[in-house]
Structure 1
Amino acid sequence: MNKIIVYIKRNKIKSAVILVVLIAYYFCLPWQLFKDPTATVITSKNKELLGAQIAKDGQWRFPQNDTVPKKFETCIIQFEDEYFYKHPGFNPISIFKALRDNLKSGNVKRGGSTITQQVIRLSRKNKKRTYFEKCIEILLATRLELRASKNRILAYYSSNAPFGGNVVGLDAASWRYFNRSANQLSWAESTLLAVLPNAPSLIYPGKNHEQLIKKRNMLLKKLFQNGVIDKLTYQLSIAEDIPEKPYPLPQIAPHLLQKVSKTYNGKRIQTSIDMRLQERVNRIVQSHYNQLSQNEIYNAAVLVLDVKTRKVLAYVGNTPTDKAHQKDVDVIDKPRSTGSILKPFLYTAMLDAGDMLQNTLVADVPTQFGSYNPENYNQTYDGAVPASRALSRSLNVPSVRMLQEFGLNRFHHYLKTLRLNDLKYDANHYGLSLILGGAESNLWDLCKSYAALSSTLNHFSETSSEYFSNEFCEPTFLASETLDFGKKSTEKTLFDAASIYLTYESLKEVNRPEGDENWEFFDGSKQIAWKTGTSFGFRDAWAIGTTKDYVVGVWVGNADGEGRPGLVGVQAAAPMLFDVFDVLPKTDWFSKPFDEMQEVEICKKSGYRASQNCDEVETKFIQLSGLKTKPCPFHILIHLDNTETFQVNTSCENLSNIHNKSWFVLPPLMAYYYKTKNPFYKPLPKFRSDCLGESVITMEFIYPEENNHIFLAKDFDGKANDLILKIAHSKPESTLFWYLDDAFVGSTTDIHELLVVPKQGDHMITVVDEFGNEAKRRITISK
C-alpha cells in the first residue's frame, strides 16, 4: 500500500490520467442498455400467457426476461459463441481469424463477435460495421462482463435479438413461430430460433424456407457430434418441419389486457386469472353469444371473484362479436342501468335496521307516489307477500314501498358506503325509482359489493364473531397483491352477519330459469344466493350469484343501449351465470351466525313476531335487531256465536255462549288482492243483526289511482270504452253510492264495481257508504 502511495506522489500526472481512464471506463457503459418500448404482457397465476399488446413501435418485443431456457442456451452458445463462459467479453482468436479472412477477401466476410459483443451492438442499434466500431464494442463488452453475470448477458441477448419481421426476443419468437413458451420448445425448435438472429432479415419462417432448414440442420448435426443430443433425438429433430407463417399471439383475456395496459403499459404482469377457468368461461360466453345474437343481442360480460382473497379468477369483458357491435368495449367497468339488482341491499339494510323480519308481510297493491306509479313485471298484485318472497320474485311494488318506508336518503347512504362509484348524484335525483334501475352501476362494483357481503359472513364465522374494518375493499387482478382487510372488531362494518345470512337464505329461493332439464339436479348439488335484474326498456339483463367461495356476475345486452324483447335477467343472464357456477368447485353453504341471532316465536301467517292473538306460531332464528319489530298487527281477537257464523257481543248473546277466536284480517285493499291468490283467506264474519256493536268500517279505491291520467280507447264504431271504477270495503255487503262531479251515477252492493263514461277533462269521483263514510279520487280523462 505504501508503495502505491509513493508511486502516486512521484507520478501525479500519470496517476491522474490512469484515474480518469478508470473512471471513464467505469461509466462508459449506460446503466440501462435497452430503452426500446416493450409489449404489455399478461400471464395467469401460473405464469401461462393470456395475451400481449404490441409495443408502441410496432414490434413484438416482450419485456426483459432474466431466465433463458436450457435448450436455447445450449443451442445459441454452440452456434454463436462456444467459448462464451471462458472469454472476458471478446475472443482474440476469433477476432484474429475474422481479421485475416476479411483482409484476404477485401470485404467483411466474418464477424468474430462474441454474444457479449452482440449484446453491445444490439444496444447501440446495430451501427455500421467498422474497425473503430468493433473496438468500441470490445471495450464495452469487457465492461459489461465486469458488471453482469454470464446468465444476465445471455438474458440480454435472448430478450433483444431480432428473430425476423417485427419479432424481437426469444419469448415473442417462441409464441409467434411455435405458439408456446420458450420453455416448452423441442431441440429442433430451439435450434431454429438460435440460427434466426444470424440473418433475421433474410431468413425467418415464411421466407427462404430451404435455407432456414439447412442452417437449423447444420446446428442439430453439431449438437449431435458434440454429444449434446443422441442419435434418435437428432433424427427426429431433422424430420420436424418448420412453421410456414407466424401464429397470432394468444388473446385469452383481451379486455383484461386492455385494463392492465392503462396502468402497466409495456410490462409483464402476472395476474390472478385461473387459465383453465378463463378458457371455460370464454367458451360459455361464446356458446350463449351464438344464441343471443340470433335475437340481435350482441354483448355480454362475465366476472368471477374469489371471495376469500378478493382476486379476479376470470375476466370476460365482452363477447366475440364484431367491431360493428363494439367487441373491443370492456363492458365490465361501464355504467349500466341496474334494474332490480340493488334490491338485496335494501332488504339487508331493512333487516339490519330492525325495520322488518325475514318473512314480514309487505303490501303488494296498486301504489302511486305523486306521478310515480310502479308496477310489477307481470302487472298483477298479491295484496300482501312475505318480504323474502317479494325479494326472490323481484316484485317491484313491494320494493318501492319498502324503500319509501326505509327512507330514500338513508338507502342512498348505504349504496355510497358500498362504493358504487357510478352513483354520482344525490338521492332526490334518482327518487324511488332508484330501487328499480333508476341509477347506474357496473359489473365490477356490483360483484365487489356482493363479495364483501359474503366475506363479511365468512369472517364472522371464522373469527370470534368479529368484523373486519376494510371489508369493502377493491378486488385485485394482480397475483402478487394480497389485500388487507383491516383490523378486527366486534362492531359491524356496514351490515351485521345475521342480516346478510337471512338475505342469502331468501336469495336461494329465486326462481330458476326455465327450459333446461338439468336445473333441478344442479340446484340440489349447489346452493347459490343469486339475483337477476332487468332495466327499463329491456336494455340490460343482470345476474349475480354468490357462494361461500365465489361471486359470479353476468351482464347481457347491447353496448349501444338498444333494447330487445327477451332481454331479461332470468332468461338472458341467469343461464350463463349457472353455466359458470357449474364449472366452479362445489362449496359448502354459509355458516349460520348464531351470535347475531336469537330464537323467537313468529306468526306463521304474517311473518311478524307472534302476538298473543296469533293462532299458528313457529320458532325461528331472527337477527338481534329484529327484536324491536312490533308484534303481528293482523291478528285480532273476535267474539262469535255458537255456530261461529256471526260476530256477537253481550248486547245480543249470553257471555257463556260467546266463543273467542283469533282472526287474520288484512286492510281492505290488501285483502281484495290477497284473497285472489289465497283462496283460504276468510274475511271477518258479519255482526248478527240483533247485535248493537259494529266493527270499524274502512274502504279504499282499487281503481283509479289518485291523480291518474286515463286514456279511453275507442271501439271500431268510434265509441269510447267504459271506465270501470272499483273499490274495496271492509263490509262488502254494504250499499255504496257513487258520484261523478257531485252527480249521482249509481249504487253497488257486494261487488263494488261500476261502469261510467266520463267526458274528456278533470273529474272528481266520490263514493259514500250507507254509514256515511266517504272516499274521493281525482282523475283526468283523455280520448
Structure 2
Amino acid sequence: MNATGPSGANPPGVSRLPRRLALAAGALVLALALLAGAGILGLAQIRAHAPPAPEPKVSAEVVDREGRLLRPFALPDGRWRLAARVEDVDPRLLAMILGYEDRRFAQHGGVDPLALLRAAAQAAGTLRVVSGGSTLTMQVARLTLPPRARTLGAKMAQMRRAIELEARLSKAEILGLYLTLAPYGGNIEGVRAAALTWFGKEPRRLTLGEAALLVALPQSPEARRPDRAPARAKAARDRVLDRLLAQGVLAADEVRIAKQEAVPTVRRPMPQLAPHLAEEMAAERPDLARHLSALDAPLQERLEDLVRERTRALGRGLSAAIVVMDNESAEVRAYVAAPDYFDRERAGAVDLARAVRSPGSTLKPFIYALAFEDGIAHPETLIEDRPARFGAWRPENFDRSFQGTLSVRKALQLSLNVPAVRLLEAVGPQRLASRLQQAGGRLELPAGAAPALPMGLGGVGVRLVDLTALYAALARGGEARAPVFRREGGAVAAPRRARLVDEVAAWYVGQCLLGTPAPQNALGGRIAFKTGTSYGYRDSWAVGFDGRRTVGVWVGRPDGQPVAELTGRAAAAPLLFDAFARIVRTPAALGPAPRGALAAANPRLPPPQRHFGRARRDAVLEVVYPPDGARVSAADAQALALKVDGGTFPLTLLMDGRPVARVEDRGTLFWTPEGRGFARLTVIDSEGLSDSVTVRVE
C-alpha cells in the first residue's frame, strides 16, 4: 500500500523535508565542494607555479616635487584609475575596509574556509545570499581576471588566482591592488580616483563618513552612485557604520556624527594644475606612469589664481603667463602658461610660456652686461641720450624725448633706446645673439636674416621660459643653466651649464636693475627687474629676480593683436610684483659684490670709462694685430704683442673685461695668455674709443 493518500499528501505524523533544510544542505554541499576543489588543485603546486603578479595599467599622473598630484590623465578607454599604495590611504579607512570586507585578511592564504562555511550557513538561515565568502584577495583576483558570469567555475578560478596572488605578493601589495582596482561607479576605479571625484581630495585624511562611503560603494557601484542615487549611497554608508560599530571597530558617538554628514551629489573635476607642462611631460615620456616634476603645487595654485584674477580685470581676450625659477638649482617651481586651460576666448590650451613673441626692451640688460664685461662701460660711466642715426635707422625713446648726458646705470633703469643701441653697436649684435643662444636663449629671426641693431629693442623672437632662464643666469653670477622641469628619482637632474657673462658684469646689471622704478603702489629696491613692450603694443613683459628666485611675466593677446596702451610697466610689472608677494613676504637680498667689482663714482673711474663714446669725429682706433679670430701660440708663456693704430694715449688693454696692460706713448701693448682657450682683447683710449678682437690661444 502506498504511504501517501490518494492526493499524494503525506500521511498524518509524517512531514516533507523542510525547504530551508534542503537549501542549507545544498549550500553546505557547495561550500564543501569548493573546499574540496581547492584541496584537489593542490595548494603547494599552485603556489609553486604561480604566474607573475598582474600589473594593471593605471592613469598617468604628473606630481609636484613633494608628490602632490598636479594633473592625472584618463586611460585610453576613458577610465580614471590612479595607482594607490597602502601608505597613500588614511589608516582608518584601511581598518574599515578590512573590518567590513575581510577580517581574517592577515591570516588566510587567499581563500578563507571559515568565511565560506559562514556564507553557507547565512544562506541557509535567511534563504538568501548574505555574503559570498570571498576574501579581499579573491575580490582582487576577480578584478584582474576577464569578466565571467557568477558560476561555480568562476568562483574556482578566483580561488586559484587568489592563491597565486598570495604566492607572489605581500599583503600590503594585494591591498594596494584592491585600492587601485575597486570600482566606484561610472569610469571611476580605485580609492584615489574615488576620493578626488566625490570629495575633491586625496584619501589620506578623510572624515569617518567619507571613509564609510568609500567602503560601501564597491559593493554595488552603479546602484549606489552618489550623483545618481544619493539616498541609496547614504543607506549603504550607514550600514557600513552600523556593522563596524557592532564589531567594535567604531564608537557610538563617532558613528552618530558620521551619519549626519551629507553625501556628495555631484562629481568634482580631476585636478588640473599646470596642465600645459603636465601634458608636455606625459607626452615626452609615455612609458612612465608617474612623472615627478620640479613644481611646487601650492605655489602653482596661488599663481594660477592670480593670473585668472588679473586677466579678468585686464579685459576680454587678454591672457598672461608666469614662469618661476629657482636661481641655484634652475628648477621651475611654477609654470602658468595661460589663465584657464578651457577658456577658448583666451586660447587657453595654447602654451604661452613657450610662444615666440617680441621681447621689447627685455634684452637690453644683456647688452649692458657685455659692455661691462668688455670694460667699455661701468654703471657710473656717462653716456649720451641724444638723437642719433645708425645707417638709415634713427631710434627714438618710448616717450619720444631725450635725456641728454646721464649714467649708464640710469640709462638702463629708464630703458632708454639710444644708449642701448650705442652699446650694442660697440659689442656687436652677432656677439650678443651668439652669447644668448649659447646660454639657451633660442632666438627667432626672420628667414635669412642676421642679428642686427634692432634686436636690442625687440627685433627678434623669444620665449618666456627661455627669457626667464637668461635672467636667472644674471642672478647666479652669469652662469646659464637649462631650466629643470623634471626630478628623476627625487633628485634634481643636472642642468646644462654655459657662461652667459662674467660674474662682475652680471652683478653690475643686477645692481642697476635693483634701482628700476617700481610700478605704482609697489615697494621698490627689493627686486632687480626689467620691463619690455613690443612694437605696436602686442606684448608686455616684466622679468625680475631676488637672491633666490627669478620670475618672468608676459601679458598680451594670444593671437598677437595689438592692445592700446598695453605696456610692460602698466600691465606686466604689477603682475610681477604681485607674483613675488604670493611667493614670499620679503624678497631675498642679492649676493655681495664679487671679486673685481669696482665701486666708484664717475670721477674716480679709469679715464676711458668715464664717458662712453666721447671722441673727436676724425679719431680712429683699431687693433691691427692680431686679427679678429686669429690663433696664437702660448708656448713658453711668452708675452705676445698687440698692435694698435690710432687712438689717444694712454691706451688700456683689457682681457675678458679685466685690465691687463697700459701704455702711455706707443701703439704696442704686451700681454701674457693665462691659458689655452678663447680670449677677448679690448683696447680703450683716453677718449673712450675702443676696438676688440677675439683670439684663440693654443
TM range (shorter): 0.7 to 0.9
Match of 1:312 among 332, 346, 353: 332
**Structure 1 residues 106-163: Cα deviation after superposition (integer angstroms, max 9, x where no partner):** 9987532111011111111432222122212111211111211111111100111110
Q: What is aligned with 1:153? A: 174
TM-score using structure 1 length: 0.68
Q: What is aligned with 2:60? A: 40
**Amino acid of the structure 2 residue aligned with 1:500:** A
Shift in Å, 1:345 = 0.9
Q: Which whole-Å CA distance do the structure 2 matches of 1:543 and 1:626 have between them?
A: 32
Residue 315 (structure 2) pairs with residue 290 (structure 1): no
**Structure 1 residues 430-469: Cα deviation after superposition (integer angstroms, max 9, x where no partner):** 4222111111111111111211221237xxxxxxxxxx7x
Q: What is aligned with 2:505? A: 499
Q: What is aligned with 1:473? A: 482
Indicate how the Cα distance of structure 1 residues 496 and 324 shifts in structure 2: closer, same or farther if over 3 A, else same. Answer: same
Aligned pairs (5 A) from 1:728-739: none
Q: What is aligned with 2:657? A: 625
**Amino acid of the structure 2 residue aligned with 1:360:** T
Give the match's secondary structure for 1:145.
helix
Shift in Å, 1:256 = 3.1
Structure 2 unaligned blocks of 5 or more: 1-39, 615-653, 664-685, 690-698
Residues 136 and 178, structure 2, Cα contact 8 Å, conserved in 1: yes
**More deviation, 266-275/566-575:** 266-275
**Amino acid of the structure 2 residue aligned with 1:50:** L
Structure having the higher Rg: 1
Residues 408 and 427, structure 1, Cα contact 8 Å, conserved in 2: no
**Structure 1 residues 530-585: Cα deviation after superposition (integer angstroms, max 9, x where no partner):** 01111111111110000111111100001111111111111110000011112324
Indicate how the Cα distance of structure 1 residues 554 and 623 shifts in structure 2: closer, same or farther if over 3 A, else same. Answer: farther
Q: Which whole-Å CA distance do the structure 2 matches of 1:607 and 1:582 have between them?
A: 43
**More deviation, 185-194/276-285:** 276-285
Residues 284 and 580, structure 1, Cα contact 8 Å, conserved in 2: yes
Q: Which whole-Å CA distance do the structure 1 matches of 2:444 and 2:661 have between them?
A: 31
**Amino acid of the structure 2 residue aligned with 1:79:** Y
Q: What is aligned with 1:753? A: none
Q: Which whole-Å CA distance do the structure 2 matches of 1:57 and 1:260 have between them?
A: 21
Aligned pairs (5 A) from 1:516-665: 518-519=521-522, 522-523=523-524, 527-583=526-582, 584-598=584-598, 602-603=602-603, 608-609=608-609, 625=657, 627=659
**Amino acid of the structure 2 residue aligned with 1:475:** V
Indicate how the Cα distance of structure 1 residues 78 and 589 shifts in structure 2: closer, same or farther if over 3 A, else same. Answer: closer
Shift in Å, 1:628 = 7.1
Q: Which whole-Å CA distance do the structure 2 matches of 1:347 and 1:98 have between them?
A: 83
Match of 2:374 among 353, 356, 359: 353
Indicate how the Cα distance of structure 1 residues 389 and 630 shifts in structure 2: closer, same or farther if over 3 A, else same. Answer: farther
Aligned pairs (5 A) from 1:256-271: 256-265=277-286, 267-271=289-293
Q: Which whole-Å CA distance do the structure 2 matches of 1:104 and 1:131 have between them?
A: 21
**Structure 1 residues 28-79: Cα deviation after superposition (integer angstroms, max 9, x where no partner):** 43443413xx333333434433333333221121134353431221111122
Q: Which whole-Å CA distance do the structure 2 matches of 1:594 and 1:114 have between them?
A: 69
**Structure 1 residues 683-723: Cα deviation after superposition (integer angstroms, max 9, x where no partner):** xxxxxxxxxxxxxxxxxxxxxxxxxxxxxxxxxxxxxxxxx
Give the match's secondary structure for 2:379.
coil
Residues 295 and 485, structure 2, Cα contact 8 Å, conserved in 1: no
Shift in Å, 1:627 = 4.0
Q: What is aligned with 2:113? A: 92
Residue 492 (structure 2) pairs with residue 482 (structure 1): yes
Match of 1:509 among 493, 508, 515: 515
Q: Which whole-Å CA distance do the structure 2 matches of 1:233 and 1:28 have between them?
A: 43
Indicate how the Cα distance of structure 1 residues 343 and 166 shifts in structure 2: closer, same or farther if over 3 A, else same. Answer: same
**Structure 1 residues 581-608: Cα deviation after superposition (integer angstroms, max 9, x where no partner):** 1232424432333422346674379985
Q: Which whole-Å CA distance do the structure 1 matches of 2:252 and 2:113 have between them?
A: 34
Q: What is aligned with 1:705? A: none
Q: Which whole-Å CA distance do the structure 1 matches of 2:394 and 2:59 have between them?
A: 54
Match of 1:273 among 295, 307, 310: 295
Q: Which whole-Å CA distance do the structure 1 matches of 2:508 and 2:202 have between them?
A: 49
Residue 258 (structure 2) pairs with residue 237 (structure 1): yes
Q: CA RMSD in A?
A: 3.5
Indicate how the Cα distance of structure 1 residues 383 and 23 shifts in structure 2: closer, same or farther if over 3 A, else same. Answer: farther
Residues 538 and 566, structure 2, Cα contact 8 Å, conserved in 1: yes
Q: Which whole-Å CA distance do the structure 2 matches of 1:547 and 1:62 have between them?
A: 39
Residues 354 and 628, structure 1, Cα contact 8 Å, conserved in 2: no
Give the match's secondary structure for 1:603.
helix
Indicate how the Cα distance of structure 1 residues 307 and 665 shifts in structure 2: closer, same or farther if over 3 A, else same. Answer: closer
Residue 176 (structure 2) pairs with residue 186 (structure 1): no
Residues 158 and 170, structure 1, Cα contact 8 Å, conserved in 2: yes
Aligned pairs (5 A) from 1:249-260: 249-260=270-281
Indicate how the Cα distance of structure 1 residues 354 and 239 shifts in structure 2: closer, same or farther if over 3 A, else same. Answer: same
Aligned pairs (5 A) from 1:126-165: 126-165=147-186
Shift in Å, 1:170 = 0.2
Percent of counterpart pairs with the same letter? Answer: 29
Match of 1:331 among 349, 352, 358: 352
Residues 317 and 330, structure 1, Cα contact 8 Å, conserved in 2: yes
